[in-house]
């Protein structure tokens, strides 16, 4: 069983590993020169002022800003507001992830090749070209829907849903659900295309129908990984839910937006602490549940 | 799946967990539903449907006039530039902190065993540094890059620079953590061999440790760069340059065809960066 990706990776797991090949010095130097030029160009393009940043003037400004953050404002009213925001953020991430699981599960079975048109399940079927082609249509449609959902970032979805349903936590839930639905759809699909064929074969040899094979041969294999991936995306989503409010989608982000805009630095620190505690707690909870499942 | 030795599993654990879990899940579900103001009916009401229709019809056809695209060219390039320098700063922050936060490098293991034996004060100081580095990394990565960006906009002003700093700090925390995991996972044989021939610490590090970690190190950094491109594209929503700012402007002006164009540009950019990064990784 493959381990789930590290918690901070944004979508998929990097594929790598190999060996450094030798003896391409000239090419390497050229590449290096190119990269350096690229960096210099970026330095000016991104209007970076590292020297200025390290100068006493603006470094002092940052120090002053940090000093303003302290001490965090622990007055009852602020604490209550922070608590409310924390619970709301939790609710957004929870409902968003659930919605994502529902979306992913309802699409993914059409988006994995071995379930929809090729492989063991379809070997015995008479090779009628048009039937195969017809099966490809839902496959391609499901794949492209997942791609679209996944490509548009959560924050942009949030902007769109704020326009569609108005301000508040609900557009945040929709944004998380739709984007994460695309991501989970892709991850689930990879798991499905990767199942062990032996149980399927033995079920097939006993004359099980395709639905029965799906329920008894495939789902039990993939379920632990589905749950594990969903928990992992929940960890990512709690971080996103904490900032969705910056575009008007509720949660702690909304309060942070207000605190920053009104120069209430002490309250800001309280809210940041709340994010820190919430994120850490959810990480532990998710790790605990993952251990239970795997 | 864990189902090894039945005698190791305590029965109380097994029997209560599902019930407690289900109860908590239902509770969280009901409470979250209420708190998140979930209201699916909106999409079936006239107002919601009108908004949806306006949005969908407004998107097509995408605005591909040269006028608009040439206007988007600079923010698109800016996004790449932000991600590049953000990742560089992240490496500059993550590498030293990651080293200090590596248990086997900072406090234990063959590099330190001989030196710290019977020197509790020095060992204590090393532990202090170790926990400081770990704490900083965890702080850096727990605060989302958006909040960092927002604070840096306040501290250094609008523009791409706060975006660079935000990505640098937030991703520095993530990179540092992963770097320390990579450093912990090296094979110890070469290190011991080096030590036995009398290499000093620096030599052990550069000839034994670093070459082993380098491929994973580069690969993970490249992968983070891909994430940084996505992040810097939307950091503009809080005023930190790049395409995000344009998305927000177009969205606020209800020019949905422009939004679609920007999303297409974003898609192509991300795909290109993924391709470059995958190619580079394959070369490793």
Tally of helices (H runs) and strands (E runs) in chain A:
13, 0
Which residue in A has a C-alpha nearest to residue B43's C-alpha? A165
- A218, pLDDT greater than 50: yes
Residues of B whose CB is below 8 A from A90: 32
Q: Does domain A76-293 have CATH number 1.10.3720.10?
A: yes
Tell me which range, A249-253, B46-50, B178-182, is most confidently predicted by mean pLDDT. B178-182
Q: Give residue A123's pLDDT.
A: 64
Q: What is the pLDDT of residue B70?
A: 80
- pLDDT tier at A115, thresholds 50, 70, 90: confident
pLDDT in tens, A119-170: 666 666 666 677 777 778 888 888 889 888 888 888 888 888 888 888 888 8
pLDDT(B103) > 60:
yes
Between these two residues, B173 and A50, which has the higher pLDDT value? B173
User: Can you give the residue ranges of every domain in chain A?
Assistant: 76-293
Q: What is the pLDDT of residue A12?
A: 46
Dihedral sign for Cα atoms in the order A123, A127, A128, A130: positive
Report the alpha-carbon distance of residue B52 to residue A171 in Å, rounded. Answer: 13
Task: Please give the average per-residue pLDDT across B30-49, as a whole number.
Answer: 79
Residues A194 and A211: their CA atoms lie apart, in Å, by: 18
Q: For residue A98, what pLDDT is reported?
A: 93
Q: Are A199 and A121 in contact (CB under 8 A)?
A: no
Element (H, E) at A164: helix A154-165
What is the crossing angle of helices B120-142 and B160-184, to 10°? 130
Name the residue among A151, A250, A152, A107 with its Cα closest to residue B39. A250
Question: What is the mean pLDDT of the segment spanning A181-205?
Answer: 86
Cα–Cα distance for residue pair B255/B71, rounded to 1 Å:
15
Residue of A nearest to B51 (CA): A164
Per the CB < 8 Å rule, is B251 touching A276?
no
> pLDDT tens, B58-67?
777 877 778 7
pLDDT score at B141: 86
Q: What is the pTM of this model?
A: 0.79
Is 80 exceeded by the pLDDT of residue B264?
yes
Q: Nearest by CB to B267, which of A18, A88, A151? A: A151
| Gap between the Cα atoms of B214 and B231, Å rounded | 25
Binning pLDDT at 50, 70 and 90, where does residue B110 land? Answer: low
* Mean pLDDT taken over chain B: 82
Q: Do B147 and A280 touch (CB under 8 A)?
A: no
CB-based contact A45 B81, cutoff 8 Å? yes
d(CA B161, CA B57): 36
| DSSP conformational letter for A120 | G
Q: Is the CB of B263 less than 8 angstroms away from the CB of A156?
A: yes
Q: Considering only B12-26, B184-198, B241-255, which range has the smallest mean pLDDT? A: B12-26
pLDDT band at B91 (very low <50, low <70, confident <90, very high): very high
Mean pLDDT of A50-59: 70
- For chain B, the domains span 75-283
pLDDT higher than 60, residue B4: no
3-state secondary structure of A48: coil
Cβ contacts of A16 on chain B, cutoff 8 Å: 215-216, 219-220, 281, 284
Contact between chains at A98 and B29 (C-beta distance less than 8 A): yes
Please judge whether A163 and B233 are an interchain contact, meaning their C-beta atoms are less than 8 angstroms apart. no
User: Distance (Å, rounded) from C-alpha B59 to C-alpha A90?
Assistant: 33
What's the pLDDT score for residue A100? Answer: 94
Give CA torsion, residues B63, A249, A152, A2, to 10 deg: 180
Residue A8 — pLDDT band, cuts 50, 70, 90? very low
Question: What's the token pair of residue A7?
Answer: 């918690």
- Going by pLDDT thresholds of 50, 70 and 90, the confidence category of residue A94 is very high
Q: Which of A23 and B184 is assigned the larger pLDDT?
A: B184
Percent of chain B with pLDDT over 90: 7
pLDDT of residue A21 exceeding 90:
no
Of the given ranges (B6-15, B69-78, B160-169, B261-270), which has the lowest mean pLDDT? B6-15
Per CB-CB distance under 8 Å, the chain A contacts of B43 are 164-165
Q: Say whether pLDDT at B223 is over 90.
A: no
Q: Is residue A70 scored above 90 in pLDDT? A: no
Tens digit of each residue's pLDDT (9 = 90 or more) over A243-280: 888 888 878 888 888 888 888 888 888 888 898 889 88
pLDDT beyond 60 at A2: no
Three-state DSSP state, A47: coil
More confident residue, A3 or B219: B219
One-character DSSP codes across B142-186: HS-HHHHHHHHHHHH-SSHHHHHHHHHHHHHHHHHHHHHHHHHTS
Taking contacts as CB-CB distances below 8 angstroms, the residues of chain B near A151 are: 263, 266-267, 270
Over residues A189-209, mean pLDDT:
83
pLDDT for A117: 64
Retrieve residue A221's tokens. Answer: 């294999």
* Per-residue model confidence as pLDDT tens digits over A229-242: 899 899 889 988 88
The encoded tokens of residue A135 equal: 């099966």
Burial track A137-170 (b if 16+ CB lie within 10 A, e otherwise)? eebeebbebbeebbbbbbbbbbbbbbbbbbebbb
Q: Residue A44: its pLDDT value, please?
A: 76
First to last CA, chain B: 34
φ and ψ at A118, to 5 degrees? -135, 180
Residue with the bigger pLDDT between A91 and B70: it is A91
ipTM of model: 0.77
The CATH number assigned to the domain with range B75-283 reads 1.10.3720.10
């Amino acid at each position: 069983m493959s381990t789930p990706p590290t918690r901070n990776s944004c979508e998929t797991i990097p594929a790598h590993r190999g060996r450094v090949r030798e003896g391409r010095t000239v090419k390497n130097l050229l590449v290096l020169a190119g990269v350096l030029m690229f960096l210099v160009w970026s330095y000016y393009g991104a209007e970076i002022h590292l020297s200025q940043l390290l100068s006493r003037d603006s470094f002092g400004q940052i120090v002053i800003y940090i000093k303003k953050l302290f001490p965090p404002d622990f007055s009852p009213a602020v604490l209550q507001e922070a608590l409310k925001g924390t619970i709301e953020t939790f609710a957004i991430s929870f409902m968003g992830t659930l919605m994502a699981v529902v979306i992913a599960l309802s699409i993914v079975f059409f988006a994995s090749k071995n379930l929809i048109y090729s492989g063991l399940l379809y070997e015995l079927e008479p090779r009628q070209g048009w039937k195969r082609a017809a099966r490809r249509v839902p496959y391609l449609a499901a794949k492209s829907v997942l791609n679209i959902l996944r490509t548009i970032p959560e924050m942009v979805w949030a902007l769109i849903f704020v326009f569609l349903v108005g301000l508040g936590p609900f557009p945040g839930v929709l944004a998380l659900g739709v984007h994460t639905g695309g991501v989970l759809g892709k991850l689930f699909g990879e798991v499905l295309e990767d199942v062990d064929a032996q149980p399927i074969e033995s079920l097939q040899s006993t004359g099980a129908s395709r639905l029965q094979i799906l329920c008894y041969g495939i789902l039990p294999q993939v379920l632990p990984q589905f749950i594990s991936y969903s928990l992992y995306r929940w960890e990512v989503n709690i971080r996103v839910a904490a900032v969705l409010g910056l575009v008007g989608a509720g949660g702690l982000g909304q309060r942070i937006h207000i605190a920053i805009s009104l120069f209430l630095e002490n309250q800001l620190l309280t809210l940041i602490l709340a994010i820190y505690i919430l994120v850490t707690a959810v990480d532990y909870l998710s790790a605990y549940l993952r251990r239970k499942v795997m | 799946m864990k189902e090894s030795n039945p005698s190791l599993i305590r029965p109380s654990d097994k029997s209560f967990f599902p019930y407690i879990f289900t109860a908590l899940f239902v509770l969280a579900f009901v409470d979250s539903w209420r708190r998140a103001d979930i209201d699916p009916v909106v999409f079936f009401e006239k107002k919601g449907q009108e908004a949806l229709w306006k949005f969908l019809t407004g998107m097509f056809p995408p605005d591909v006039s040269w006028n608009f695209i040439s206007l988007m060219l600079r923010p698109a390039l800016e996004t790449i530039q932000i991600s590049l320098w953000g990742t560089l700063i992240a490496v500059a922050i993550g590498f030293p902190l990651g080293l200090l936060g590596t248990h086997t490098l900072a406090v234990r293991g063959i590099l330190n065993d001989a030196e710290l034996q019977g020197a509790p004060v020095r060992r204590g100081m090393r532990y202090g540094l170790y926990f400081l580095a770990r704490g900083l990394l965890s702080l850096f990565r727990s605060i989302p890059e958006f909040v960092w960006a927002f604070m840096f906009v306040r501290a250094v002003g609008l523009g791409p620079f706060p975006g660079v700093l935000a990505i640098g700090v937030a991703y520095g925390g993530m990179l540092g953590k992963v770097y320390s995991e990579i450093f912990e996972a090296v094979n110890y044989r070469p290190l011991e061999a080096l030590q036995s021939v009398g290499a000093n610490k620096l030599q052990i590090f550069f000839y034994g440790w670093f070459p082993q970690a380098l491929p994973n190190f580069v690969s993970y950094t490249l992968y983070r760069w891909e994430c940084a491109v996505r992040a810097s594209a939307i950091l503009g929503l809080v005023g930190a340059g790049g395409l995000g700012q344009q998305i927000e402007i177009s969205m606020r002006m209800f020019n949905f065809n422009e939004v679609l164009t920007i999303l297409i540009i974003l898609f192509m950019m991300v795909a290109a960066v993924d391709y470059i990064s995958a190619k580079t990784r394959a070369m490793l």
